[in-house]
Chain A
């Protein structure tokens, strides 16, 4: 019975940790062929791009070197990097706000039956269906061209993602474990912190990862309309100016930021917060 319960833990049901273990893509052992597929192919494509850029007009295909230079400038040149870091700040703020707000709404739905119907059957489908562009235009009407305007749009789009995921997490909460906790204390706050939060941790990481990627896609649209600074603004600017290296550089910097956050942020954090997993898998499970 206990064994069954472990097998139906969320990670396993999602198939994130298959028979090969859950060490994650970062620790996969690469064979020579895989290395070629992973690293050499992109290098060849880059080379082809470099050669092709001499034959094409710049606005069609800019020189990859100038694109990379611009990417570096966007990350490190004080004349430009405020666009990058303001966007990044907005994205991070939006991800955290959406996670907290979505979790709170879903907790409310779970523990206040009165609110459940409204939150799950009305608010959630409404938010889920609302078009991004619609929020972006409305945000300018409501908040003008400003920080709150961009963050608002991002939160509005992220909210249904975090609500759906966290709602699934709540539904998967193990009633037996909760009853055990309740038999030891009557303090709901302690149960929330020590039992519910750890049980929800895999779902929280899922929300963070999905949200961070989606937030960048939304950020550009939000900033296109509701901001005079940020990468979305820069993208629009380079479009108007036919500044193709800038356009490509902006896109590349986002790709870099999403990738880096995953590798340097989420993966180590997840590994740390769920240390027990690695340790629990150190030896063969007792039968």
Chain B
């Protein structure tokens, strides 16, 4: 498995919704095994981009290739972790983890599925919660179940769409470390969407910075710092963070005097979710 081989390729991808351009000619390549962060303001088309990779959105201009072919033929190579856990409420944590396998490999024996599911639950530190229903799990636990569900189908590529943005700061920071640990242990490719500068700097091998819509790629940044990272102590990371923030500042005021980032979008809810994101003050990381 050569590290530099491309796993996802976008070539001049454009996408409109109801005549309004969202993606305005996007080209980039994600390498096998890397941790890629797509960073951009709310509503710029990050989820749309992930859907295209996942073959869930098939109408667009330009070319999207996953492992060299059409995404709709490669759905077996990847799994999603969404912003909300999307667990099914009638199944326990264990059976939710097994659910992805059950959908993907209906021929597999139930016992075998559950054994695999348990292994990933244990990996996520949820062995004692296997029998609990989602209603009895905390937000962070649910999201870990969702992550285990994605891991259980053993995909080459995991697509994570702002998976921690609904969680409190402490949980978020713990889960970031957990994702890094598992990524390092499994060698999978992760495409991680976020609108949080610090999160991208903390996690990514490379950061793909998206502009406001109509969206283009502003810059692709190599982070290239060892892990575990500390944004406060590592001057290179601090510098990188400054650079990305500056890049964002140019994106804050839209041209032609339109209201900022929202652009017809409902505003982001206030509260912990807004912290450390696009325009807010950054929380301390890793301290």
Q: Please tell me if B70 contacts chain A, counting CB pairs below 8 Å.
A: no
B114-150 contact mask (Cβ, 8 Å, vs A): 1 or 0:
0000000000000000000111111101100000000
List, in ascending order, chain A residues with CB within 8 A of B102's CB: 194
List, in ascending order, chain B residues with CB within 8 A of A176's CB: 82, 84, 86
- B106:A180 contact, CB within 8 angstroms: no
Q: How far is the CA of A283 from the CA of B135 in the complex (A)?
A: 10
Known: A186-B72, A274-B90, A276-B91. 19 other contacts (CB 8 A): A1-B84, A1-B166, A2-B87, A177-B86, A179-B56, A179-B82, A180-B80, A180-B82, A181-B103, A182-B56, A183-B56, A183-B79, A185-B106, A190-B103, A276-B90, A276-B92, A277-B90, A283-B136, A286-B137
For the complex of A and B, 8 pairs with smallest distance between CB atoms: A184-B103, A280-B133, A185-B103, A180-B86, A276-B90, A183-B80, A184-B100, A280-B135
Q: How far is the CA of A187 from the CA of B104 in the complex (A)?
A: 8
Q: How far is the CA of A2 from the CA of B83 in the complex (A)?
A: 10
List, in ascending order, chain B residues with CB within 8 A of A276's CB: 89-92, 133
* Given A2-B134, A280-B136, A198 contacting B82 (CB threshold 8 A): no
Q: How far is the CA of A187 from the CA of B90 in the complex (A)?
A: 21
A247-258 contact mask (Cβ, 8 Å, vs B): 1 or 0:
000000000000
How would you classify the secondary structure of chain B's contact residues: helix, strand, loop or mixed? loop
Q: Please tell me if B40 contacts chain A, counting CB pairs below 8 Å.
A: no
Q: Please tell me if B88 contacts chain A, counting CB pairs below 8 Å.
A: yes
* Given A176-B82, A183-B56, A183-B80, A286 contacting B103 (CB threshold 8 A): no
- Contacts across chains A and B counted by CB atoms under 8 Å: 73
Q: How far is the CA of A182 from the CA of B133 in the complex (A)?
A: 22
Q: Please tell me if B85 contacts chain A, counting CB pairs below 8 Å.
A: yes
Binding site for B on A (CB under 8 A): 1-2, 5-6, 9, 176-177, 179-187, 190-191, 194-195, 198, 274, 276-277, 279-280, 283, 285-286
Binding site for A on B (CB under 8 A): 54, 56, 72, 75, 79-80, 82, 84-92, 99-100, 102-104, 106, 133-139, 141-142, 153, 166
List, in ascending order, chain A residues with CB within 8 A of B54's CB: 183
Question: A280's contact among B86, B89, B100, by CB below 8 Å, is which?
Answer: B89
Min CB distance, B187 to chain A, in Å? Answer: 21
* Given A1-B84, A181-B103, A194-B103, A6 contacting B89 (CB threshold 8 A): yes
- A2:B84 contact, CB within 8 angstroms: yes
Q: How far is the CA of A5 from the CA of B166 in the complex (A)?
A: 14
